[in-house]
């Protein structure tokens, strides 16, 4: 079985057995997307309306901005893997509840375990706080965090502002673009450390 087939099987398994309440109101699960052998995994918060309809993560305005930022560091969506903390759209795009995040946590951990990325990039405070509840995005963004988390082999994490927040706040946009350019440098540093 190829890595892509293994990943699809994993998604189908977790979609079937997942008990997240959001499953009752969402159109469908939004599986992670991209390279099943990626060095970098991007984790967002939850699918939005466009993602819920298409079944693909980060395809709206924030997704287009993410694709532009990837191009700025000579990467494409096919080079990385993009997923969310929860796999189903919360009603009216509200924040996912702690119980909903907890329901989807084994699925997210299984994705990360299968892919074995060198680096996990958090897109926004919700994704970051799922793993680093003590951190604040305003002080942690753009800083490489190193931590052993039970159930996750990856130990390097880079929190960034969410692309959607940067679209609505011009000041955050420049900050996010600057932080994003660190990704290739961080990957080089990780390669030297391992």
> Under a CB-based contact definition with an 8 Å cutoff, are residues 182 and 106 in contact?
no
Domain that holds residue 73: 3-193
Close Cβ partners of 80 (under 8 Å, ≥ 6 residues apart): 34, 35, 38, 39, 40, 41, 42, 70
What is the mean pLDDT of the segment spanning 118-136?
Answer: 95
Helix ranges (H only) for 18-144 are 49-54, 61-72, 98-115, 125-129, 137-140
Convert the pLDDT of each residue in 152-188 to its tens digit.
Answer: 889 999 999 999 998 888 889 999 999 999 999 999 9
The CATH number assigned to the domain holding 162 equals 3.40.470.10
CB atoms within 10 A of CB 179: 20
Mean pLDDT value of segment 79-89:
97
pLDDT for the residue 71: 96
What total number of domains does the chain contain? 1
Asked whether residue 193 carries a pLDDT value surpassing 90, the answer given is: no
Say whether pLDDT at 91 is over 70: yes
pLDDT at residue 194 in the model:
67
């Amino acid at each position: 079985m190829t890595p892509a087939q293994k990943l699809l099987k994993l998604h189908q398994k977790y979609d079937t057995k997942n008990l997240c309440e959001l499953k009752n109101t969402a159109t469908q699960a939004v599986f992670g997307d991209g390279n099943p052998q990626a060095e970098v995994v991007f984790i967002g918060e939850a699918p939005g309306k466009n993602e819920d309809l298409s079944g693909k993560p980060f395809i709206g305005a924030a997704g287009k901005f993410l694709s532009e930022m990837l191009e700025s560091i000579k990467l494409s969506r096919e080079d990385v893997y993009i997923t969310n903390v929860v796999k189903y759209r919360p009603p009216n795009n509200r924040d996912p509840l702690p119980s909903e995040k907890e329901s989807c946590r084994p699925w997210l951990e299984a994705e990360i375990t299968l892919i074995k990325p060198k680096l996990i990039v958090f897109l926004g405070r919700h994704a970051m706080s799922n793993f680093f509840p003590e951190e604040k995005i305003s002080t942690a963004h753009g800083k490489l965090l190193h931590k052993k988390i039970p159930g996750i082999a990856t130990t390097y994490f880079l929190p960034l502002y969410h692309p959607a927040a940067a679209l609505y706040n011009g000041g955050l946009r420049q900050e996010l673009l600057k932080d994003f350019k660190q990704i290739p440098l961080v990957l080089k540093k990780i390669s030297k450390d391992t």
